[in-house]
A and B are shown apart, each in its own frame.
Chain A
Amino acid sequence: MKLTTYYNRVNIITSIVVLIATGVIYYLFIHLILTNKLDKDLAVEEEEIQQYTRTFQKLPLPASYIDQSVSYRKAPKDSVTVRDFSYTTYFNPKENEEEPGRRLITIVELKGEHILVTITKSRVESEDLVRVILLITLGVTIILLGCLFLINRFVLNRLWQPFYNILKRMKVFEVTSSEHVGIEPTRIDEFNELTQSVNAMAERVRYDYKELKSFTDNASHEMMTPLAVINSKLDSLVQTDVFTEQQGALLEDIYQATGRLSRLHQSLLLLAKIENNLIGDIQAIDLKELVAQKARQFEELLERDGLKLEVILCEKTINMSRYLADILLNNLFSNAVRHNIKGGKIIVELSNVKLVIGNTGKDFETKTKLFDRFSKSNESDGMGLGLAISKQVCNLYGYQIDYEQVKKMHYFSIFFDR
């Protein structure tokens, strides 16, 4: 939910609640006050009737004044003190209609007799007054809410514009390019601070990136050079003489160890590079073509182990580094070959959503550490980095890589959309 939307919602709901509550309280108070005033008028009228009765020893005429009527009735003997205000209807003879009214029933003593006096006053005017007040309150409420909405909508949006601009520029920020996040002109202190912090952070990130890159380069250089020397000296050594079988075997072992060492080093550097996202070169890759190419590349290895390859491929293009795509497929294919059994099979299935590579193989306890570095089965002659690299490559592009074992078949699936 957007900040403005959320703010708007809270603001408007609160305003509505407060305004309605105010309206209700306002209405009740006005009502109470007006009723009190009516009651006072009624009491004055009662007073007048009592004075008149005392003075003249007779009841005043039950005349109707405007919006007021008085009537008399003989009261039963035992009812001595009755004084009761209540709501009632008032019949307006002029308009010839019923109106809301307020009534006072009281007792007047006349020559030892109790007379029940009913004074009724119309409430129409006070009701009208209350209604007008209510309408004005409502109107003000609606206007206020409208104003609030408009302010939130236009002013808040404009106020937050610098924030969204900075956000947009942060999204396109790349450590590899030399572009700055830049300054966003605004009078709001918080946003100025944000821009400054973002720029400072970008600088720091870029600096770290450069440091890391140069470290990676240096480490690579310093370790590769001795390896290159060993390799070239070995190549020179084998040219020097005719070797016995025993010497040949020794040399082969040294070659293999050197080869593994340089592959291991390259793999570790590669992992570091992927983790720090130092590999750009993202391009559209025809995955179908690439998988088919890998299948050809592994032909000899499949033949050697008598493996049957079943391939079902759909058209699929993905965006990633060609170099990493190559490495990913290499790792999965060599994994499927390495952990296979003689005369087994490999299934490769590429659809629009996933790539599945399955192979026959021995049963083994499913290890959650399968994708960890240097995690490998005892009989594996690999380095235990292949799957770790595959996982990192998948993480980099937001793919999901899963392993499952179904009836002596081992499946690795890559889902392109998480």
Chain B
Amino acid sequence: MKILVIEDEQALSESILAYFTGEGNICEHAYDFESALEKIELYAYDCILLDLGLPGGEGLDLLSRLKARNKKDGVLIISARHSLDDRLSGLDLGADDYLVKPFHLSELKARVSAIVRRKNFDGDNLIKFNEITIDVAAMKVTVDDKLVVLTKKEFDLLVYFLSNKGKVVTKNAMAEHLWGDEMDLSDDFDFIYTHMKNLKKKLSEGGAKDYVRSVYGIGYKFADV
């Protein structure tokens, strides 16, 4: 997929680019309003990551210009503003999603993947990984065309992992993804272990290879063997 990162904080922008590059993804970046506007007008992207406060202009302004030109690029707003007004006006203007800083890169990737999937496969929202096929719309998982029954949270976890193939996904990120970041959970995320164990068990019973590896203390990694 082709992605444009519009973010004035260079360090953050670099991390995002590094995380997204690979797997045939093309990533570009813009640090200010002018260069972002130029890129938006010249090219088409699968998804644009848009920061709201930019040198030289407002991110929401870019969004409305994009929509005025009838461009079909997906837009994910990444902002430090936790205000409901901004969230609503962003979504009203036609953004696909809104993510508040600070975020986990894995969460960002999962959201971007979801947006791109929705844009590109009309109605046929499938994720394929070797023998595993996920029908996101129908919430069905099949391994070699055999149905594997998962709970809602196990399903969400699997989709999350497949959006972050080959990456280490931290327990914090998983917990926030499944339960939301406002839950003020205790810092002990070991209860995720139960979900992971069940997911692995169900997948291997369904005939899939064991793709999940645990990373000491940090989290898990879903990768081709």
Partner of A252, one of B102, B179, B195, B217: B217
- Convert A226-255 into 0s and 1s, putting 1 for each residue whose CB lies closer than 8 angstroms to a CB of B: 011111110110110011110111011001
Assuming A220-B80, A263-B181, A381-B187, is B106 touching A235 (CB within 8 A)? yes
Contact B185 A301 (CB under 8 A): yes
Complex-state Cα separation, A178 to B173, whole angstroms:
40
In angstroms, Cα B78 to Cα A88, docked, is 109
CB distance from B31 to the nearest CB of A (A): 14
Contact B191 A300, beta carbon cutoff 8 Å: yes
For A233, what are the chain B residues with a Cβ–Cβ distance below 8 Å? 11, 15
- Is B105 an interface residue when CB atoms closer than 8 A count as contact? yes
* Structural contact, A260 and B187, CB atoms closer than 8 A: yes
Contact of B12 among A228, A248, A269, A337 (CB under 8 A): A228
> When A235-B15, A236-B19, A281-B84 are in contact, do A229 and B9 touch as well, CB less than 8 Å?
yes
Of the candidate stretches B89-97, B130-138, B164-172, the one touching chain A is: B164-172
Q: Do the beta carbons of B186 and A381 come within 8 Å of each other?
A: yes
Interface size bracket, A side:
35 or more
Set A220, A242, A297, A301: member contacting B191, Cβ < 8 A: A301
In the complex, B140 has a CB within 8 A of chain A = no
Q: Is A238 a contact of B9 with CB atoms below 8 Å? A: no
Encode contact with A along B71-104: 1 for CB under 8 Å, 0 otherwise.
0000000001111100000000000000011111
Partner of A231, one of B84, B103, B153, B171: B103
Contact of B82 with A258 in the complex, beta carbons under 8 Å? no
**Is B194's beta carbon under 8 Å from chain A?**
yes
Q: Which of B133-190 contact A (CB under 8 A)?
A: 153, 167-168, 170-173, 179-187, 190
* Residues of chain A lying within 8 A (CB to CB) of residue B190: 304
* A162, CB-defined interface residue at 8 Å: no
CB pair A266 B216 closer than 8 Å:
no
Could you mark each residue 99-134 of chain A with 1 if its beta carbon is under 8 Å from any beta carbon of chain B, else 0? 000000000000000000000000000000000000
B215 within 8 Å of A (CB atoms):
yes
- A260 CA to B185 CA in the complex, in Å? 10
B219 contact set on A, CB distance < 8 A: 238
> A230–B104 Cα gap in the complex (Å)?
10
Q: Which residues of A (254-279) have their CB < 8 Å from a CB of B?
A: 255-256, 258-260, 262-263, 266-267, 269-270, 278-279
Interface: A331 (CB within 8 A):
yes
Interface positions, chain B 18-68, Cβ under 8 Å from A, are 18-19, 53
Q: List the 5 closest pairs (A to B, CB-CB), nearest first.
A: A248-B216, A248-B217, A224-B80, A232-B15, A228-B102
Known contacts A327-B182, A330-B183; 18 further A-B pairs (Cβ under 8 A) = A223-B80, A228-B103, A231-B102, A235-B19, A235-B104, A235-B105, A235-B173, A248-B218, A249-B217, A251-B217, A252-B171, A256-B187, A258-B102, A280-B84, A301-B185, A304-B194, A338-B186, A381-B187
